[in-house]
A and B are shown apart, each in its own frame.
Chain A
């Protein structure tokens, strides 16, 4: 990767263009009334086609993706994105469909939704899916709306609280608040699981339900899920399953069987569609049979959700089929445990035992702090990993540990890649013990060094200005 400094505006020259439009064969329509016309100049760049291609190719070369190398970003499931998925999503017979075309014109698309619904129901044990949500957070919000709608439909209007574990991703409480629910936090035990005794007194008749991730954000299976489900249901609440961590359960455990009533899936995690630099994703929501009637009241996106993403996920499911489904879960778990066991003598493992698809270290065992030199932090380890050609794990999440370093290898990485990562992680630990400054100054080999984020936030520059 090399540093490339241009912005597209700086490639612009008056009079150049990158478009090719047909000759105008129509008589000229009358002009808009002046009061409705744009007066301001339109400051878009003027760039030729080759310049555009070169500019964005240069930009791409400052980026790291799954196709570049190992991307062990915890809770993001950065698995390989099969290329057949892209080819299928690009088919003109799907791309050219207008979203308001009636079903009689879109039988192929409708069939994709039907088959996806069946497949996801089979994989998760839910009854029916809606594909409208465009991302995980969007699915979460949709799921919570369905939870509230269920109680409203039953005339049970006082259920306005939702229980969220303290280990939850920040999106959970944020989605709850957007949905008008009050968040009640339940504590985790020292072993990282929900404290069932602490949960019991929270289960009042004002509780709409509980949001859970299982395995949770520490990568640990919530072993008491059976008891929790029985307690929540007995109190009249529903269980919501955050599908961010579904990957290890593929082909092994179904959320529906654990008692969950509502769940979302991240097709861009578990079902191999590309993350696209932060989207588009797709967050279909599945419900148990008793919630099916709630679905029509909730409209959360423009039309049928992110159809292009759903096509990709469907191609992936066809490739997996019955035969390979279980391997996804098993190999993801195998790789995570292998890394954990190979590194726990140099990184602090706060909770022992088998993990699922990911696990959390709490920083280095020996951070190298001495005299006036501060020790190497999790941020330092993350930045140093970039020097060695790996993406960093998720850092400083979950909030239960101060130096959290959350590693998720996924099932698509080879043992050689994983061994190379382990070796580098050990090397970094050794560097930290010897001279933490090597880590403080990292990264050294990337297109840029650490940025001044404080100035960025204090004096925000959020758009291009000439001579900036």
Chain B
């Protein structure tokens, strides 16, 4: 049998180690396991593959996937990834380290997390960011728990129906088990309804309200008056944001939100069939001690040099156990590095340019699609950036476009179809998509 290259043990090594332990066979190391639990059968696994066989196997799996131009967003955006990022993130000093428990040999990780926190604060306009969470929806669920912990006597959290469906489902799942009541604020005219919000707030039991900065229809929402109304009831305003768009749209800080959350995926992370992504969370300073997740802080070492450490740890599960606000242990560190490098490369102008290219492309597509006569406008005149919905006059558009090489026209539950354009989509691709629509 071929050896596995990951296992360095020679027969002589094994024998010497067994001798030191004072047992004769490897099996004796399991003498404490009752015999009934030692697996006697054969494990139903394929035979071991060599490296080339693994490559071949993956190549055949890869070939089973369709290769389409992506014109869909809905929570995962096909933005461009600068070549530098995967190159640097593959450095094994970053890749093969764990949570920076030993700060003396983890300053690399700790520094980039500190940079990441600073960048998230810059984007959101809030005071304090954690070291990242799993993804956008779980960040929303954490924010929901946090709102209840911060406001104590309040028991209900409101969700705007403008949030992406999968965000709502995750929050609902967490709420059901954590014992938080969920209420809803409907969308009217393509935007979270302010009067409905006020009616819900009047019940005086609202710990927090989660609203989308850009909603599931791609519309940039106007949250004028939301913070005042919510704060008057001692609740928290929680903004769910696309961090890429924060370069151009009003920030959670500018809306006077208490918590900003969202998925970092639009910041150059590959689609990767849904993960790994990275959730972000930033809060006003007064809430920082109720924030879940790791946090990195700056201090000095014995020689007075600027150094970084995990800090405010008394909030966390390994100290507070069942009294911790969250069970989160780690972060999505490597993806936080990815985001950090992305934002460093793009800078303020690059990120604005990404928005400009995507927005201009999306508006061009919107206009061209309307010209085909096969769609009705759903929210005429409402402001959008890279994503929008239309009402198709004929069914089956998504499948037809697939055959032409596009993943586009994603059906929504209201019977609309959703499109998204990023800076990766060229004018030629958009024209080809429109042609495919016309040809039906």
B220 with A32: CB separation less than 8 A: yes
If A320-B4, A333-B30, A334-B17 touch, whether A302 touches B352 (CB-CB below 8 Å) is: no
If A221-B33, A278-B100 touch, whether A319 touches B299 (CB-CB below 8 Å) is: no
Residue interface mask B44-73, A partner, CB < 8 A = 1:
111111010111011111111111101010
Chosen A-B contacts, 13 in total, with CB atoms closer than 8 Å, are: A22-B423, A63-B108, A88-B55, A96-B70, A98-B273, A177-B322, A251-B39, A276-B95, A278-B332, A299-B170, A456-B309, A456-B311, A460-B288
Name the CB-closest residue of A to B246: A38
Tell me whether B415 is interfacial, beta carbon within 8 Å: no
Q: Which of A109, A176, A179, A325 contacts B45 (CB 8 A)?
A: A325
A97 with B272: CB separation less than 8 A: yes
A52 with B58: CB separation less than 8 A: no
Residue interface mask A9-38, B partner, CB < 8 A = 1:
100100011111110111111101101111
Tell me whether A213 is interfacial, beta carbon within 8 Å: no
Q: Which of B29, B129, B178, B341 contacts A179 (CB 8 A)?
A: B178
B34 with A275: CB separation less than 8 A: no
List, in ascending order, chain A residues with CB within 8 A of B276's CB: 134, 279-280, 306-309
If A68-B93, A170-B319 touch, whether A302 touches B17 (CB-CB below 8 Å) is: no
B39 with A98: CB separation less than 8 A: no
List, in ascending order, chain B residues with CB within 8 A of A365's CB: none
If A177-B324, A330-B26, A412-B8 touch, whether A278 touches B345 (CB-CB below 8 Å) is: no
List, in ascending order, chain B residues with CB within 8 A of A97's CB: 65, 271-273
List, in ascending order, chain A residues with CB within 8 A of B328's CB: 135, 137
If A93-B62, A307-B274 touch, whether A277 touches B94 (CB-CB below 8 Å) is: yes
B20 with A342: CB separation less than 8 A: yes
CA distance A456 to B298 in the complex (A): 6
A392 with B102: CB separation less than 8 A: yes
Residue interface mask B172-196, A partner, CB < 8 A = 1:
1110011100000000000000000
B329 with A111: CB separation less than 8 A: no
A397 with B318: CB separation less than 8 A: yes
Residue interface mask A201-244, B partner, CB < 8 A = 1:
00000000000000000001101011000000000000000000
How near does chain A come to B331, taking the closest CB pair, in angstroms?
Answer: 5
Interface residue stretch chosen among A115-123, A369-377, A427-435: A115-123
B115 with A8: CB separation less than 8 A: yes
List, in ascending order, chain A residues with CB within 8 A of B410's CB: 100
How near does chain A come to B123, taking the closest CB pair, in angstroms?
Answer: 8
B138 with A36: CB separation less than 8 A: no
CA distance A280 to B31 in the complex (A): 36
B114 with A134: CB separation less than 8 A: no
B17 with A62: CB separation less than 8 A: no
Size of the A side of the interface (Cβ < 8 Å), in residues, is 199
A122 with B43: CB separation less than 8 A: yes
Tell me whether B153 is interfacial, beta carbon within 8 Å: no
B13 with A451: CB separation less than 8 A: no
Residue interface mask B349-364, A partner, CB < 8 A = 1:
1111110110111111
A446 with B361: CB separation less than 8 A: no
Interface size class of B (residues with CB under 8 A): 35 or more
List, in ascending order, chain B residues with CB within 8 A of A279's CB: 132, 134, 276, 330-335
A317 with B363: CB separation less than 8 A: no
List, in ascending order, chain B residues with CB within 8 A of A153's CB: none
B157-176 with Cβ < 8 A to chain A: 166-167, 169-170, 172-174
List, in ascending order, chain B residues with CB within 8 A of A82's CB: 6
B350 with A19: CB separation less than 8 A: yes
Residue interface mask A59-93, B partner, CB < 8 A = 1:
11111111110010100101111101011101111
Tell me whether B394 is interfacial, beta carbon within 8 Å: no
List, in ascending order, chain B residues with CB within 8 A of A170's CB: 316-321, 324
Residue interface mask B221-246, A partner, CB < 8 A = 1:
11010000000000000000000001
B170, B271, B272, B307: most-surrounded residue (chain A CB, <10 A):
B272
A135 with B329: CB separation less than 8 A: yes
How near does chain A come to B66, taking the closest CB pair, in angstroms?
Answer: 4
Residue interface mask B399-410, A partner, CB < 8 A = 1:
000100001001
B94-148 with Cβ < 8 A to chain A: 94-109, 111-112, 114-115, 117-119, 121-123, 125, 127-129, 131-132, 134-138, 145
B75 with A322: CB separation less than 8 A: no
List, in ascending order, chain B residues with CB within 8 A of A457's CB: 297, 311-314
CA distance A338 to B178 in the complex (A): 44
